[in-house]
Structure 1
Amino acid sequence: MEIRVLRYFLEVAREGSVTHAAQRLHISQPTLSKQLKDLESELGKKLFTRSSFSVRLTEEGMLLRKRAEDILDMVDKTEEEFKSLGGITGGDIHIGCAESAGIKYLARCIKAVKEQHPGIRAHLYSGDTNDLAGRLEQGLLDYAVIAQEVDLSKYNYLELPWADVWGVILRRDDPLSTKESLGVEDLLDKPLIVSRQGLREDLPRLFGEKVDHLNVTATINLAYNGSVLVREGIGYLLSFDKLANTSRESELCFRPLSPRLETHLYLIWKRYQVFSPAAELLLDKLRAAF
Structure 2
Amino acid sequence: MEVRVLRYFLTVAREGSITAAADFLHLTQPTLSRQLKDLEQALGKKLFIRSSHSIVLTDEGMLLRKRAEEIVDMVDKLEAEFSSMEETISGDIYIGGGETEAMKLIARVIKELQFSYPNIRYHLYSGNEDDVTERLDKGLLDFGILIQPAEVSKYNYINIPAKDVWGVIMREDSPLAWKAAIQPADLRNVPLICSRQAMKQTFSKNEFSDWFGEDFGKLNVVATYNLAYNAAIMVKEGIGYAITLDKIVDTSRDSNLCFKFLQPKLESGLSMVWKKHQVFSAAADLFLKEIQAKLTNV
TM-score range, shorter chain: over 0.9
Give the deviation of 1:149 after TM superposition. 3.4
1:100 aligned counterpart, secondary structure: coil
Bigger mean CA offset, 52-61 vs 88-97: 88-97
The code of the aligned residue for 1:228 comes to I
CA RMSD of aligned residues (A): 1.4
Deviations 1:75-114 (A, max 9, x none): 1111111111123342100000111122101110011111
1:174 matched to 2:179: no
Give the deviation of 1:151 after TM superposition. 3.9
Number of the residue aligned with 1:206 = 208
Deviations 1:157-192 (A, max 9, x none): 122231010010001121211111111211121111
Number of the residue aligned with 1:264 = 269
2:114 aligned counterpart, secondary structure: helix
Number of the residue aligned with 1:90 = 90
Number of the residue aligned with 2:192 = 192
Number of the residue aligned with 1:100 = 100
1:230 matched to 2:232: no
Bigger mean CA offset, 150-159 vs 5-14: 150-159
2:8 aligned counterpart, secondary structure: helix
Aligned residues: 290
Bigger mean CA offset, 26-35 vs 193-202: 193-202
2:139 aligned counterpart, secondary structure: coil
1:12 matched to 2:17: no
2:124 aligned counterpart, secondary structure: strand
Give the deviation of 1:262 after TM superposition. 0.3
Number of the residue aligned with 1:55 = 55
Number of the residue aligned with 2:245 = 240
Give the deviation of 1:152 after TM superposition. 4.8
Report the Cα distance in structure 1 between the residues aligned to 2:92 and 2:158, rounded to whole angstroms.
Answer: 21
* Structure 2 gap segments, 5+ residues each: none
Deviations 1:225-275 (A, max 9, x none): 111111121110110000111134431111111111101111111111110
1:280 matched to 2:285: yes
1:169 aligned counterpart, secondary structure: strand
Deviations 1:190-232 (A, max 9, x none): 1111122222123453134643322111222111111111112
Structure 1 contact 184–207 (Cα < 8 Å) conserved: no
Q: Percent identity of the aligned residues? A: 54
Report the Cα distance in structure 2 between the residues aligned to 1:213 and 1:33, rounded to whole angstroms.
Answer: 57
The code of the aligned residue for 1:170 comes to M
Report the Cα distance in structure 2 between the residues aligned to 1:248 and 1:207, rounded to whole angstroms.
Answer: 32
The code of the aligned residue for 2:4 comes to R
**What's the TM-score once normalised by structure 1's chain length?**
0.96
